[in-house]
Structures are given as structure tokens and as C-alpha cells.
Amino acid sequence: MAHGHVADALQVTKPDVYISTDGGYSWSMTLSGPHYYQIGDHGGLLVAVSKDEPNPQIIKFSTDEGQCWHEYKFTDEKLNFTGLLTEPEGKSSVVMLWGYHSKTKKWRVHVINFRDIIKRKCGDGDYESWLSHSSHRSTEGASTAGCLLGVRETFYRLKKDSLCYNGYDHVVVNTSVPCTCTREDYECDYAYYRPGGSDDCVKEKEFKGPEIDICLHGHEEKLVSEGYRKIPGDRCKDGFKPTSKLIDLNLQCDEYGQSLVRKDETAPQTENQPNGFSKGVKVLAMVIVIAILALASVMGVYFVRKFILLRRNKTVYSYSRLGQNETHGLMHADDDDDDDEGDLSQSLDKALAASQVKYQDSDEELTTSKLPSTATKPAPKRSQPNGSAHPVPKHDTNPFTGYHDDSDDDMLS
């Protein structure tokens, strides 16, 4: 179904509704003026509502492909009609009409199920055989009538005078038969054309382009055509069958790069399998892999060398073990005035010299000489500000232990 005019050009008048029952090859007017229309029940039901009426109240329907139309008043209200809908695939017999009131602006939807009118289920006698595209190529003979892309299809459709419904689950039955090949199943090949509506393909005289060379199984071959090649998707069989020749040029080529590699004078005429990836791609892949391995090696050597240098240059501070006599000497020296700072430095030097500690710049354990517990050097008597001598008290000979620190701060400062 479609809107249109009977004229040689588009008209400015209102169009009419036309219908075709042979796939669009012929058309006939079925409704006067523009209409909303829909197709339901697999084509067994046609519905329409006039567009000329601002507030339509009547719906038209047909069960014989638009030959006869029946009317049904679906409402007494004056609605601003907006649309007519059916199931999207056109399988259902249910129709919906949409509209709204001018004053209240409320929407109204009227649903009509035509199964309440058409109650009989269609049987086998209600269908007829129909050859699609029957008028196409009918002048060429009975063997080619209805052939499209090499196939003749026959459908079983509802008869026009059958008042019944197909049903939502109806399956359209069709059969396909391959046609005999003719020139209509072929198109003109490279550098050929069809002059003046003829079916024959003629080579273009003024064509000066290169010949057709193809790379087949690694060998460069020249294609010699008679001017025809089959239309893609065409399924015809037998009949007209033009031939094409492939001439081996004894040249080895790359199927993926479509480029000539080298001349192969002694190559056998057997078919070779494709090489997969081209040589250039393989070389590029090898270069990338080698570059990645070299970069990984350089980075590995750099980090190993860095680790070794850090191990070697690690700074270690070692501290001695002091006896209690030296400790008390330092404590008493700290109680003196600022004028005795020189004596404190001398006492510290003497204490460090007496500990006999070996200093090693490594992470290994310190080697320290054990101080005898019975031989302690008494601290010298120091004069007090009041002139009296301050005796050094005697304590136990157990030495206290210093500690080892890897930090950068000198604990003796």
C-alpha cells in the first residue's frame, strides 16, 4: 500500500491510496484521498482511517486485498485522531486507534480485535499458489519467468474471496527452484560493457588500463576473461556459462602484500600454500624482539651495578665499650665550669685510646678487646673550685656496653 498519483510527475493535489498484489509491478487505486492505513493478520486484513476528517469515528477494513471495504463506527466521541497502530510485524488482528479530547486533553485509546468479526480459521482450501515476480522476464520464455537472482519462488497466500483469519502463529509456505543460467545472471567484467540494452558484453575499445593480474597460491597469474562474471548471490545452474583462463606468468608473488617478489623460472606448476605473514612483517617482528631483549639486558646490568656500589659505600659507625672509671671521669668533667672544656676533650681521648677497639668499615661484627675486670685505671683527682680534693668513688668493675648505630648522627657529639 502507498499514496500516489496517476501522472508523469508529482502532483500538488491530495494523493490517493494504491495497492499492489504482485510485488509492486502493477498498482490499482483502492481508497480515495489520504488515509492512515495498516496491514494485519499476515496480509489478510487491511485497515484504514481517513485523514480528511478532523474527528473520525469510522474505521475501514478489507479482507480481500482492498477490493471491498467495510466500515465500522468505533466511537461516538469527537476525538483529535493521532494514529493507527497494529503489531509491528503485521501478524496480529488487533488494531489500536489513538486520540485525545480537545477540551480535557485526555488521551483515549480504542482497541479493536477483528477476531470478533472474522471467526473462521483458514484451511488448506483457502490458499492459492502464487509465483512471485511472475511478470519479470516473462517475455524470455516459461523457463525464465519469475526468475530473480537465479531462483524462482512460489508462495501460498490467502485467496481474495476467503473470509477467514490466518492467526498470529501462521507460517508462510514457499518453495524455491533454481533457474537455468542466462546472460541476465551475469554482469560485464573488467573493461567490458553492454551497449544499447543488449545482453552481450563488449570490450571497451578505448580502454588502455593494465591487464588483470592476480596472485594465486604464491604465483602471479594473468586473468583472460570473455567479458562476463556471475552476479554475487545468483544461484542459477547450467545454461550459459562463460569461461575465463588463468595463465601462469612464472612469477612468484606475495598474496598478502600483493607485490611481486622475484621471477621464478624453475618453479613447479603445483599449487603452493600461502606463506602466512609477509617477509617484511617477520623482519620487523625480529627487530622489535631483539630491541626489547637488548633493553632488558642493559637495565639488568645497570641495576646490578648500582646495588653493588651501594653495598660497598655503606657507612658504618662503631663505638667503644667504656669502663665505669672512664664513665665517672667524664661525668665529673661535665660538672666543671666552661673553662675545663679542654680537660674534658683530653679525658675523652684517653678513654677512647684505653678501650683498644678496632674500627672496621663493613657490616660485620665489631672486634673489640675485652677489658679486664680487675685492672681499672683510676681517674685523676681534680681540684674543685673551693680548693678541696674530690675523691673518685670506687664502684664495681662491671663495664656498661655502648651500642652500634648505622645512622648518620654521631651520638658522642
Supply the range of the domain harboring residue 69.
Answer: 2-116
pTM of structure: 0.53
Instruction: Work out the pLDDT band at 36, boundaries 50, 70, 90.
Output: very high
pLDDT digits (tens, 9 = 90+) for 237-256: 888 888 765 555 555 555 44
- Shared domain for 263 and 323, answered yes or no, is no
Q: Kindly state the cell numbers that stand for 398.
A: 662491671
139 occurs within a structural domain = yes
- Shared domain for 258 and 297, answered yes or no, is no
Torsion of CA 341, 346, 350, 352, to 10 degrees: 60
**pLDDT at 319 (0 to 100):** 62
Average pLDDT value for residue range 158-178 = 88
pLDDT digits (tens, 9 = 90+) for 278-291: 677 888 899 999 99
Judged by average pLDDT, the poorest of 151-155, 192-196, 369-373 is: 369-373
- Shared domain for 350 and 400, answered yes or no, is yes
What span, in angstroms and rounded, lies between the C-alpha atoms of 115 and 312?
A: 98
What are 269-272's contacts with CB under 8 Å, separation 24+?
271/217, 272/217, 272/218, 272/219
Residue that finishes a domain, picked among 132, 150, 183: 183
193 occurs within a structural domain = no
Residues with Cβ within 8 Å of 50's Cβ and at least 6 positions away in sequence, in order, are 33, 34, 35, 36, 56, 58, 60
pLDDT digits (tens, 9 = 90+) for 93-119: 899 999 998 888 889 999 999 988 888
| Structural element, H or E, at residue 298 | helix 279-312
200 occurs within a structural domain = no
- Shared domain for 139 and 38, answered yes or no, is no
359 occurs within a structural domain = yes
189 occurs within a structural domain = no
- Shared domain for 8 and 75, answered yes or no, is yes
- Shared domain for 68 and 36, answered yes or no, is yes
Which CATH number characterizes residue 160's domain?
2.10.70.80
CA angle (210, 265, 215) in 5-degree steps: 40
- Shared domain for 222 and 254, answered yes or no, is yes
Residue that finishes a domain, picked among 276, 293, 322: 276
Residue that finishes a domain, picked among 90, 116, 142: 116
- Shared domain for 15 and 106, answered yes or no, is yes
411 occurs within a structural domain = yes
Q: How many domains does the chain divide into? A: 5
195 occurs within a structural domain = no
- Shared domain for 230 and 244, answered yes or no, is yes
197 occurs within a structural domain = no
